[in-house]
Structure 1
Amino acid sequence: MKKIMVAGTSSGSGKTTITLGLLKALIDRGLKVQPYKVGPDYVDTEYHTRVTELASRNLDMFLVQEKETLNQLFKKEAHLADIAVIEGVMGLFDGFGISKDYCSSAGVAKQLACPVLLVVDGKSASTSVAAVVKGFLEFDSDLDILGVIVNNVASLNHYQLIKTAIETYTTAKVFGYLKKDTSLSLPSRQLGLVPDRELADVLDKISLVATRLEETVDLDGILDSLQDEVVIYEEPIYPDFSEITVAYANDAAFHFYYPDNLELLKKYGVKLREFSPLKDITLPEADLYYLGGGYPEEFAKELADNQAIREQLLKKHEAGAFILAECGGLMYLGRSLEVAEKSYPMVGVFDGISHMTDRLKRFGYCYGVLEEDTLLGQTGDKLYGHEFHHSVFETSEPTSMEMIKKRDNQQIATWRGGYHKKNTFASYLHLHFYQQPYFVENMLQTIQKERKQ
């Protein structure tokens, strides 16, 4: 197995486009490619999965607190692949706070001993690009920067100027370039890229990027520079909870789930069922209903029009069924959702109104300290996650967590969050189930205990 990380000098450098093209080019060569993403992102991983037909995995130092657990999350898929391709997050050294190693692409690359392919933006520059590359090379000598791809090149002559400058003033190898072409760009909305499931021509665009990379990048040279290694992974033994069924919402409105979360449930024997709050008219029978994040605001009318599912979910809540909701799921469980001055009725578990705003209200890593026993833990437990939303949830419902954000060992913000009613728990937190040992096992035991009463 070989491995490589595609990282950028900053957000917007082109690493996602080049990662997607590289995934497709390697697939076209007959390789089994396992994709990964540094950080908590959901949308980029869906693109990876679309290209490779293998679920892309998140590698996140904050969401998964134990170093060895994160290493095992990498190994459990990598050992089955010919090559693992990791897309970085933001700029190479950008993480949580000023640490170059914490929650950054560089930190993950060093932890996994993974070579880095650095994407630099060549727009409106030539020799200055060499200064940027030199800075990245010298900033952390423990990092293995394999070489460089130059993005946004105006012409072959422009590329030759940049390449010659980089190789004259630094020790970096330049593997090639991608010419500037707006037709290759993928559309965005407030939380990043528009999800691939909403785009009809996404694979055509990615295939075109792959073709361009084959023409202008030395892919053979990149592959030959990577070391083959044997990855050994031993699957842990999990207790059996096969009597439990979890139904999770999965459609265009709700699809932000970490594949590792769903697969971990399966490892405990849990039966998984999908349902669509947009299209289904009957809610499946289950012990836990899991409503992940997504874009309920983009489909507010359709969600409101599906009165049957809304009423059935409310009845399940009132009857004591377990419900776990994250971000968009919280918005759906409120009384109404207001978008562009229009109000749409939602489920009504919580007496609250979600309002869409024109800017991010919460962004980044944080944790909640539980102030009461809930489905996810007991009083005093910490729930690690991230928030990323433009909406606000206005309610008089009591909160169940003190939310805390720390950066560089300094507490920079606190607020109230999380709502617990009967057996329903909802918050803006996106959660990774591997965050603590026995996190899922404790949750399943809570459900199992209720079933036996």
Structure 2
Amino acid sequence: MAASFHAFVLAGTGSGCGKTTVTLGLLSLMKKRGLRVQPCKVGPDYLDTGWHTAVCGTASRNLDSFMLPTSTLNALFCEQMQHADIAVIEGVMGLYDGYGTDPDYCSTAAMAKQLGCPVILLVDGKAVSTSIAATVMGFQHFDPSLNIAGVIVNRVNSETHYQLLKVAIERYCSVPVLGYVPRMEGVALPERHLGLVTARESVINQQPWQDFAATLEQTLNIDALLALSASNNLPVGEWPALPAADAGAGLTLAIADDEAFNFYYPDNITLLARTGLNIVRFSPLHDTCLPDCQMIWLGGGYPELHAAALARNVTMLEQLRAAHQRGVAIYAECGGLMYLGSSLEDSNGERWLMADIIPGHSKMGKRLTRFGYCEAQATQQTLLATAGEVLRGHEFHYSDFTPEIPAVMNCRKVRDGKTLQAWSGGWQVGNTFASYLHVHFAQRPEMLNHWLTAARNAL
């Protein structure tokens, strides 16, 4: 029987080994071959998925096993594969790096086994010869149940060097080497304090990626890769109870979407659209008029880089305050929280007035204030959760928010069964809720019912 689809996980030996760059080249290459490509990223990262989307034109999906139960994640993956010929899944960190020391918890390896996808291991070929086989062998033996189906060698300077590496790996590890990635100018991704610059902020020049894809077509055995990734078996999944198909009928949600605010999981927007909501987008940076709406979502992003422009757009700040005062149900994540605060102090020490809806002040720091997965339990009714309900999400921010009102959530970071940190976060004022926590709605679709009910109650 012919394969109904292809899927593979591109994993690395660690962070910074070139996974994102090679993934983008493969996405461009597969698209050039006429395949319907579904890009994915293991974990909660917004930046890599933004570049995936920009290069191949299809919204990249996050596969996050901390926020999403196995059955739900599988259901989301299966739904996306109904419209795709191949899934190219970029791993997170090193192959076995997860949350804590358990290699089967939130790791790339665990995701590959959950989805039943083969792993293509990307290894660094710089300044090494036969020793590269020891690296590959270590990854093979660490979990013999994992299907490491092939190897790609990155940063290879010559065909002669590559043949030496290939022979060593195939002789000692009995795994096919699918080719190599040479050094190329013009395909490095720009970075800043939070990692990559967002694809939204950059004018995507497709030519270097098309050139890179053409090179990979010559240096990789793509036909072998497709043969290794052929499958007829999707993972078994089931959707949780979702809001009614007309739960959002008659309501309009305005989503902030510009250079300052653009961190959104496409799955979250899809789930909201399924309720019958009318979804419109607006720019806190450039627009002077807020759309007529009953709900507003201010996502994450980089408001600190655009603080002066946000502060100067006084008309938008006034319209947001007016919407808040009339009970529009406003939800803000991370960068959105900073925008709704009283003021924002940027990395140069300049303070800018913000919306002043959540009393408190944001200040940029030089190191991560909080990073990683955490749980947040509501201590009272909030826009997304009732008292006692627990949300799972992640925080990743250099800013710190000093509130002038009490928090409404108890947060904690638990790793390997031990509580590493505990803190208070999340603030509710009227019908507005803001926090640093990024969440995936599919983990608890009741969140959407809470938000929609709050919007209707304010009519």
Alignment TM-score > 0.5, same fold: yes
**Which range is displaced more, 150-159 or 293-302?**
150-159
| 1:165-221 Cα shifts (integer Å, max 9, x gaps) | 111211111000011235321111111111112222442232222112111111111
Which amino acid in the other structure matches residue 403 of structure 2? Answer: T
Aligned to 1:353: 361
Query: For 2:7, what is the secondary structure of its paired residue?
Result: strand
Are residues 1:37 and 2:41 paired?
yes
The 1:379–1:429 alpha-carbon spacing in structure 2 relative to 1, beyond 3 Å, is same
**Counterparts in 2 of 1:43-442, with a 5 A limit?**
43-64=47-68, 66-229=69-232, 231=234, 238-239=243-244, 240-241=246-247, 242-339=249-346, 340-442=348-450
Query: In structure 2, what is the Cα distance between the partners aligned to 1:129 and 1:259?
Result: 38
The 1:291–1:201 alpha-carbon spacing in structure 2 relative to 1, beyond 3 Å, is closer
> In percent, how many aligned pairs have the same letter?
49
Query: For 1:4, what is the secondary structure of its paired residue?
Result: strand
Which amino acid in the other structure matches residue 22 of structure 2? Answer: I
Query: In structure 1, what is the Cα distance between the partners aligned to 2:102 and 2:76?
Result: 23
Which amino acid in the other structure matches residue 229 of structure 2? Answer: L
| 1:251-309 Cα shifts (integer Å, max 9, x gaps) | 01000000000010111111101010000010011111100000101111111111100
Aligned to 2:20: 16
Root mean square deviation, CA, Å: 1.6
Aligned to 1:444: 452
The alpha-carbon deviation at position 22 of structure 1 amounts to 0.4
The 1:38–1:342 alpha-carbon spacing in structure 2 relative to 1, beyond 3 Å, is same
Query: In structure 2, what is the Cα distance between the partners aligned to 1:418 and 1:439?
Result: 15
Contact in 1 for aligned 2:342/2:355 (Cα 8 Å): yes
Contact in 1 for aligned 2:243/2:446 (Cα 8 Å): no
The alpha-carbon deviation at position 123 of structure 1 amounts to 1.5
Query: For 2:443, what is the secondary structure of its paired residue?
Result: coil
Contact in 1 for aligned 2:95/2:108 (Cα 8 Å): yes
Query: In structure 2, what is the Cα distance between the partners aligned to 1:126 and 1:13?
Result: 17
| 1:301-331 Cα shifts (integer Å, max 9, x gaps) | 1111111001110111122211100000000
Query: In structure 1, what is the Cα distance between the partners aligned to 2:365 and 2:211?
Result: 36
Query: In structure 1, what is the Cα distance between the partners aligned to 2:104 and 2:453?
Result: 36
Query: For 2:105, what is the secondary structure of its paired residue?
Result: coil
Contact in 1 for aligned 2:385/2:450 (Cα 8 Å): yes
Query: For 2:253, what is the secondary structure of its paired residue?
Result: strand
Query: In structure 2, what is the Cα distance between the partners aligned to 1:437 and 1:196?
Result: 29
Which amino acid in the other structure matches residue 64 of structure 2? Answer: D
Query: In structure 2, what is the Cα distance between the partners aligned to 1:14 and 1:244?
Result: 44
Q: 4+ runs of 1 displaced by more than 4 Å?
A: 230-238
Query: For 1:117, what is the secondary structure of its paired residue?
Result: strand
Are residues 1:2 and 2:10 paired?
no
| 1:137-177 Cα shifts (integer Å, max 9, x gaps) | 11111111110000011222221221111112111110000
Query: In structure 2, what is the Cα distance between the partners aligned to 1:375 and 1:287?
Result: 13
Query: For 1:19, what is the secondary structure of its paired residue?
Result: helix
TM-score by length of 1: 0.96
Which amino acid in the other structure matches residue 166 of structure 2? Answer: K
TM-score by length of 2: 0.95
Structure 2 segments unaligned to the other structure (5+ residues)? none
Query: In structure 2, what is the Cα distance between the partners aligned to 1:233 and 1:388?
Result: 29
The 1:234–1:134 alpha-carbon spacing in structure 2 relative to 1, beyond 3 Å, is closer
Query: For 1:184, what is the secondary structure of its paired residue?
Result: coil
The alpha-carbon deviation at position 385 of structure 1 amounts to 0.7
Q: How many residues align?
A: 450
The 1:5–1:342 alpha-carbon spacing in structure 2 relative to 1, beyond 3 Å, is same
Query: For 1:434, what is the secondary structure of its paired residue?
Result: helix
Contact in 2 for aligned 1:45/1:57 (Cα 8 Å): yes
| 1:67-91 Cα shifts (integer Å, max 9, x gaps) | 1101001011112111111111111
Query: For 1:403, what is the secondary structure of its paired residue?
Result: strand
Query: In structure 2, what is the Cα distance between the partners aligned to 1:224 and 1:320?
Result: 56
Contact in 1 for aligned 2:25/2:210 (Cα 8 Å): yes
